[in-house]
A and B are shown apart, each in its own frame.
Chain A
Amino acid sequence: MSQTIVLKKGLNIPVSGEAELRVSKTIAPGIVAVQPTAFKGFLPRLLVKEGDSVLCGSPVLADKKNADILLTSPVSGTVKEIVRGDKRKLLAVLIEADAKQQCVDFGIKDAAKLDAAQVRQALLQSGLWPWLVQRPYGVIADPEAAPRDIFVSTFSTAPLAPDAKFCFGSEMAAAQAGVDALSKLTSGKVHLGLDGSASPFAALKGAEQHIFKGMHPAGNVGVQISHIAPICKEDIVWTVSPAGLVAIGKLFTTGRYDVRRKVAVTGPAAFEPSYIEALPGIPMKEIAAFCGNEPGATRVISGDILSGSNVGADGYLGFFDNQITLVREGTEEELLGWINPVRAKQFSADRSYFSWIMPKSRKYEMTTNLHGGPRAFLMNDGYYARVLPMDIYPIFLAKACLAGDIEKMEKFGIYEVLPEDLATCEFVDPSKNNIQDMIEQGINLMLKEMA
């Protein structure tokens, strides 16, 4: 019997450009980037050089601290270029796909019959291990550690998030194999966060199910953990995204490294928003057709509009992302905008505007304009806590992070959060602080001090 948890706090950001439930384009692999930057705590060591040929599933990068953790190529082909940034920091390995698409065969196995060591070995070898993210801190899971529990949020409440049923509805056999495999890795339970009993994931067995009802960030796994079994000091739990769960399952059901997925192309600046079938690491040039007439003035975000990263039109789709958001850069000035009593075309969660009277179905064509200048925190903690369904004090936490006070950070719950969990607080902040960045800095400090 699954328990239902209703979260009253939160904020759904009504941005326009939801993707239509159809796959409008299948991106044939041309060039694919393997990017180590998406993984926190991963120090890349190159295993290939330019001109090498790789198969789908061949290792490309290894972690310097733990050579067992690999990143593998999602396509077969040849290594075309190794992209480095400042101080020779490794940014991406570009692989040009060939026509044959051969895969490394990891062998079909029944995950339910393997033991923990075999599952761990299979995930490490195939390059699927980095899907396992450790909390606290959001780093790649340590293969030696024994997590208390493993959490999977099967849905996303982020603005314009892809529809879980549409993306994963037909992959339940793989998801079941994924749950079977994950349950070997923990002495505790595998917890699934569902958005309702109609979710396709509700059919999965071997995992504890929890139904969450509420606004964003109710779908964030961090929020769900804090309501199922909060993370205390010295607890370690792992999280996996639904795409990762399916990919892990497919490794056992098909014997292949298969991370192909449906990606929602969304956002107010997207032309006919819909889904594409793609691999992580595809160049954003492939979706140029969605940018419409103003490609120069459009921000291309890999991920959602709150926590995704601005990769630019020349960037690549992130490893974990199954959403691309296109939004117009709001560089125009607005005469006396702040005092305009109505401002009907702009959304605000604050009652000093009138968007709260508007019907809930109304969507806004948002831009990246900051709508004000940066200021010190002025409003109360409660102003932010109303959009965060967690039992923490968000502004006290952010200020502790700013001050670099480790004791206070611990006290206010740094173990429970990742920056994405406080994204709604950042959205509503009238002082325009970068709260997610503050949390990120705090986590980095914790990592440094606790190491």
Chain B
Amino acid sequence: MNPIFEKGGKLYWLHSTVDAFETFLHVPGTVTKKGAHVRDSIDLKRILILVVIAAAPAALFGMWNVGYQHGLATGDTSLNILGNWWYGFLKVLPLYLVSYIVGLGIEFASCQIRGEEVSEGYLVSGFFIPLIVPVTTPLWMLALAVAFAVIFGKEVFGGTGMNIVNPAILTRAFLFFSYPNYMSGSECWIAHKPAEQLVDGFTGATPLALEGSAQYSTDFWSMFIGTVPGSVGETSVLAILLGACILLWTGIASWKIMLGGVLGALLVGGIGDLAGISSISCLEQLLYGGFAFGIVFMATDPVTSAQTEAGKWIYGFLIGALCITVRLFNPGYAEGMMLAILLCNIFAPLIDHCVIGAHLSRKAKKLKTA
């Protein structure tokens, strides 16, 4: 590194930033000083970039879907796949730019203040944020929400690895509670210009909030492939499953959380089915809304999820169960995934505390009898 960026140099305030870009280009030539003299070649950059790669199918599909939904809404289906994708790409790109510029800006500054290297955590959060908001979210709102989430969700606790709630979920929660008109209902999910003529029987509602008919299909395959309105990246269960395969294959995400979540959702959904209070079956619940995206990408965040193996089952199960509970019993919110994850993020340390307590007393008992 140029000495101008070192401590005492004129541009020391850029130290963390320059270091971040340098280590992005090169694995640095630093050697071990203490402890184990050789280390595994894995690092956080590798792990986190794999999460981004895993989410890429959902992002690419989401961009295409933005264009496709626009076409359905205006009745103009003349665009081909690439055309639709390009339309969506241009709509989603500003969201990405805002997410990364605001979030990384704050991250770089905080790391410099703490005198640390820039952690890669926000690369993932910043990639997720545009995928879990409606495509029409005003950019200033997004910027505000990202700034809130990164500062109060993460940096005040000490940065990546120390946070209690997932910054991406917090961003969405901030938007949801501060600007509910822009984040729910039937106005926000489909990108179109006010002047554009819409088709007869048009509805902007997502399948979860849908009453009556719509210009899009809600059969199993449409829901599975994701040709329905919704937040940018959440609609396609197929693309999300592709990502899930990568995450499970590499062992980055916990299969226990994912399976626990599915089981929890099926249980509550099943009870709802039996009691006759649900309009869609428990299996369909898994395809609707943000459940798939949440349980695969959000719930499995290793920092904010439960740490213990038994805790992961409980944590996942609670998320699934809570999500469907909100969907079934709260008429105010059509979707419960965000709230379920947020709540369980906060409860994760408690879950771990109980699991460890139980484990230790079991161990003590075993020693006594031995």
Binding site for B on A (CB under 8 A): 13, 15, 229-230, 232, 299, 301, 305-308, 310, 325, 327, 329-339, 343, 346-353, 366-383, 385, 391, 393, 395-396, 411, 419, 423, 426-432, 434-437
Contact = CB atoms under 8 A, between A and B. Distances in A.
Given A13-B38, A351-B251, A373 B50 contact: no
B46 A430 contact: yes
Contact of A427 (B40, B44, B360): B40
A399 B14 CA distance: 30
12 contacts: A351-B250, A366-B38, A369-B39, A372-B27, A376-B158, A377-B161, A378-B47, A426-B36, A428-B40, A430-B47, A431-B44, A434-B33
Prevailing SS type, chain A contact patch: loop
B20 to A, nearest CB: 9
B26 A334 contact: yes
B249 A351 contact: yes
Interface in B319-370: 356, 360, 363, 367, 370
Interface in B144-163: 158-162
A-B CB proximity, top 6 nearest: A372-B43, A376-B161, A337-B27, A333-B26, A346-B41, A350-B42
Given A330-B31, A337-B27, A353 B42 contact: yes
Contact of A350 (B29, B33, B251, B309): B251
A258 to B, nearest CB: 30
A350 B40 contact: yes
Given A335-B26, A339-B45, A382 B38 contact: no
Given A349-B40, A352-B250, 10 more contacts: A230-B367, A370-B39, A371-B42, A372-B39, A378-B161, A393-B308, A411-B360, A419-B35, A423-B35, A423-B36
B28 interface: yes
A436 B35 contact: yes
B278 interface: no
A343 B312 CA distance: 32
A329 B43 CA distance: 19
Contacts of B367: 230, 232
Nearest to A437: B34
B109 interface: no
B189 to A, nearest CB: 33
A374 B40 CA distance: 13
A372 B45 contact: yes
Contacts of A411: 360
A373 B117 contact: yes
B2 interface: no
B268 interface: no
B77 interface: no
B229 interface: no
B27 A371 contact: yes
Interface residues of B, number: 53
B44 A337 contact: no
Contacts of B39: 369-372, 426-427, 429, 432
Interface string B49-62: 11000000000000
Given A369-B31, A376-B119, A431-B161, A339 B46 contact: yes
Nearest to A369: B31
Contacts of A367: 31, 38
B25 interface: yes
Given A336-B25, A351-B249, A368-B31, A305 B46 contact: no
B302 interface: yes
B26 A305 contact: no
Interface centre among B27, B30, B50, B254 (most CB of A within 10 A): B27
A366 B47 CA distance: 21
Contact of B37 (A305, A338, A347, A381): A305
A373 B23 contact: yes
A329 B31 contact: yes
B110 interface: no
Contacts of B29: 330-333, 369
Interface in B219-262: 249-252, 254
B28 A373 contact: yes
B24 to A, nearest CB: 8
A25 B297 CA distance: 58
A349 B159 CA distance: 26
A216 B30 CA distance: 26
B74 interface: no
Given A380-B307, A430-B47, A436 B250 contact: no
